[in-house]
Amino acid sequence: MKKTMISLMVTGTVIIFSQASAQNHTTWMKKTTFGIRAGVDFQNINGKDYNGNKMNNNIIPGFNTGVNLEIPMAKDFYLQPGLLLKTRGAEYSDHKTVHLAYLEIPVNFVYKPALGRGHLIAGFGPYIDFGIGGKVVYDGNEPDKKVHFTNNVTDADNDDYAYYRKVGAGANLLFGYEFANKLSFQLNTQLGLTDINPKYNNEPLSPNAVAKHTGFGISAGYRF
């Protein structure tokens, strides 16, 4: 089911890009813009533990930084694909803090009507992320663990690592304002749609356990 969802997201993005590419080339080059963005996030991991109990994790701060394109689709409507470096994680109630780093590919659909001398920004869309690093920090005497991203853990894997799923997907929601000088500020919120727990020997570690990223933040950007 998860593979099917990710495949549909990728297929839909390819179709949209193909349709956009069919526009007049001169118009495309004049109207498509490049942007940079960076901001502060507040991330958590929500779900159920191995016993089926609701997680009571605490939010931790993080950051995001990256680039995007803004491709006109219709009057005031844009397709905004991007590439972000993003940190996620949570502080668990069992005295450990999870820090994870991802490369994220969002594809947002953005509405930008004129408002004052600038433009209102409202958008939503899916994202896919790829784990690239991280660590689990323990408050007690237990040593910290490096994170290894994999979809399946076997008995032969090293217990010195903490394991998380390599690829995930979710949804974005954003709202903000772009000034006449092309500087913008926006509020972002994200909801993870896929479980971040890997399988163990091709079976879930617990049928009750499920963990998903959630987060919100504020960011600033500039369009060229």
pLDDT tens, 188-219? 999 999 999 998 887 766 777 899 999 999 99
Return the DSSP state at 143. P
Per-residue confidence (pLDDT) for residue 20, from 0 to 100: 47
pLDDT tens, 84-104? 999 999 999 878 999 999 999
Q: Is the pLDDT of residue 79 over 90?
A: yes
Q: Scanning the structure block, which residue is given the tokens 């490049």?
A: 34
CATH of 2-223, one of 3.40.50.300, 2.40.160.20, 2.40.50.140, 3.40.640.10: 2.40.160.20
> Between these two residues, 12 and 31, which has the higher pLDDT value?
31
Q: Give the C-alpha distances (Å, rounded to integers) separating 171 from 123, 128, 168, 224.
A: 11, 9, 11, 26
Write down the pTM of the prediction.
0.82
- Cα 99 to Cα 79: distance, rounded to the nearest angstrom: 31
pLDDT tens, 142-178? 889 999 999 888 876 677 889 999 999 999 999 999 9
